[in-house]
Copies of this chain bind each other. A is one copy, B any other.
Amino acid sequence: MQRKIEVCLTPALLDLYTIENSIVVVIDVLRATSSMVYGLDNGAEAIIPVAQVDDCLQYKDLGYLLAAERNGEVVEGYDFGNSPFSYTKEKVAGKTVVLTTTNGTKALHMARARAYQVVIGSFLNLDFLCKWLKQQDKDVLLLCAGWKDQFNLEDTLFAGAVVRELKSSFTQFDDSCVAAEDLYTLAKKDLRTYMMKSSHSHRLAALNIEEDVKFCLQLNLCHTIPIMLGDKLVPLDSN
């Protein structure tokens, strides 16, 4: 069977791809999609990604946890943002989280408007996600959320990790796949050190979230694939 895998390096390029019959993996590893994976793995019932900070407010009196991040910081007045340490069992088990972030939620909504299926990837669920993707009979688009529509290293490295795992099951690749995989191969021995080269990393350092970055670069801590059903992310029932 012919199967295609492609890497879309930023949401600004998504219109170039035909995704109506594809599974789109949304990637924003620092930190939105890592926190989504970790939160659902820790028993959150659902995560509702919304585009705007104000959109969170309509969920205020429904008993949901409200999370809002802009430019890497928790928005004033909100319980928390997108740090994975806010998505522990103690905090999210049995709860629904409404979340808006600078890049990740925007990419999610763009993908959802056209894709066959939208799922969430992060280093935390790399193997589990790849095993599932292999078993489907669909083309795959790896959508890097980037930083304000620009290319970023960390999302590209994760896309490369997925390409590396999946390529024996696919027959067609674009140039972004080749680049992402080669960059991951260069970086994988020590992702954290490689990430120090990133401009985003300098920005993150300024935000004092070094512990978050270390957490998000861990491989295979979780066995959950968040999937978009309606307006909610829920754990994919992979049985």
Interface residues of A (CB under 8 A from B): 9-10, 12-13, 16, 147-153, 156, 173-176, 178-179, 182-183, 186, 197-200
Closest CB of chain B to A195's CB: distance in Å?
A: 10
Are A13 and B16 in contact (CB-based, < 8 A)? no
Closest CB of chain B to A8's CB: distance in Å?
A: 9
New contact pairs (18) apart from A16-B148, A153-B178, CB-CB < 8 Å: A9-B151, A12-B13, A12-B16, A13-B13, A13-B149, A13-B150, A16-B150, A147-B175, A151-B174, A151-B175, A153-B175, A153-B179, A156-B175, A156-B179, A175-B198, A182-B183, A182-B186, A186-B186
Beta-carbon nearest neighbor of A154 in chain B: B175
Most chain B CB neighbours (cut-off 10 Å) among A9, A156, A200: A9
Closest CB of chain B to A140's CB: distance in Å?
A: 16
